[in-house]
Amino acid sequence: MIIHFTKKFEFLSSIINSKSFRLKYCCESIGDKEGRIVSNAAHPMVSFSEFNDNDLEHKTITYGRYGIALKKDWARKLGIGPVLYVEKNSPAAKGLVSLLRARQNMDTLPDELRLPIIQMKCFTKHETGYNSWNGDENFCFKSENEWRFVPSKKQIGNRPISENYSTYKANEQKYNKQLLPHPLSFSEEDIECIYTNTLAEKEELISTFGMDERQIKISSWKS
């Protein structure tokens, strides 16, 4: 199953009530083996992690004590897929760096390849690097087993799926507000289980949404 983690009970309740996830621009960078930034941009997405209950008992989750797990069939149907983790000195990383540099040089790349390169970048991440959530300079991103939903331009009102980092950071609220009309939706049948932090919160979810108590679990991971 794939799990979307969140840090507050009210966020979890809002997701269940709306049966949808809000898209948000996330800043992602790709660097070369010398550590120079080649591409630093914000991309609209929703992130998940692939775990089972046994995995979670031994994990430290950076992104909160709450989660909603959905079935992989739902994910595959919507084009949600696993992130490709690359070591900076690997052939895959070097290949992507070369493509990104070619994209930045308007004279050397056919127009029809510009979007596919960004689509590839949206699903590629350095195996280790700086994690802005916890300030870890050498965080192992591969341990997150991340899956992502990255919309097409058509799915977000023909807006771009890549925004310059500094342009985005200057007006984050504006850019994320533009994504509000385009949530990622699911149905009750797509839910595998819900993770909450306390028994009282579990009882509130059962009372509010009429959920089966067997579908709601108390989170076991460290945070």
Alpha carbons 87 and 109: distance in angstroms, whole number: 25
pLDDT for 207:
95
Tell me if 179 is assigned to some domain. yes
Alpha carbons 209 and 18: distance in angstroms, whole number: 11
pLDDT for 33:
86
pLDDT for 78:
96
Tell me if 77 is assigned to some domain. yes
Alpha carbons 148 and 49: distance in angstroms, whole number: 8
**Phi, psi of 133, rounded to the nearest 5 degrees:** -70, -40
Tell me if 15 is assigned to some domain. yes
Domain that holds residue 145: 2-218
Per-residue pLDDT of the chain (223 residues; tens, 9 = 90+): 999 999 999 999 999 999 999 999 999 999 988 888 999 999 999 999 999 888 898 888 988 999 999 999 999 999 999 999 999 999 999 999 999 999 988 777 888 999 999 999 999 999 988 877 777 788 889 999 999 999 999 999 999 999 999 999 999 999 999 999 999 999 999 999 999 999 999 999 999 999 999 999 999 898 7
Tell me if 124 is assigned to some domain. yes
What one-letter code names the amino acid at 43? H
Tell me if 192 is assigned to some domain. yes
User: Across-strand partners of 43?
Assistant: 26
What's the total number of domains in the chain? 1
Tell me if 121 is assigned to some domain. yes
pLDDT for 201:
96
Rounded to 5, what percent of the chain is helix, strand, coil?
35, 30, 30
Look at the alpha carbons of 83, 88, 93, 97 in this order and tell me if their dihedral is positive or negative.
positive
pLDDT for 57:
86
pLDDT for 172:
94
Instruction: Collect all residues with Cβ–Cβ distance below 8 Å to 134 and sequence separation of at least 6.
Output: 62
Tell me if 223 is assigned to some domain. no
Tell me if 92 is assigned to some domain. yes
Alpha carbons 88 and 144: distance in angstroms, whole number: 18
Alpha carbons 123 and 27: distance in angstroms, whole number: 13
Listed in order, strand segments (DSSP E) in the chain are 2-6, 20-21, 24-31, 37-50, 66-70, 81-82, 84-86, 124-126, 128-131, 136-140, 146-149, 163-164, 184-185, 191-196, 216-218
- Give residue-wise pLDDT tens across range 144-188: 999 999 999 999 999 999 999 999 999 999 999 999 999 999 999
pLDDT for 77:
96
Alpha carbons 24 and 36: distance in angstroms, whole number: 26
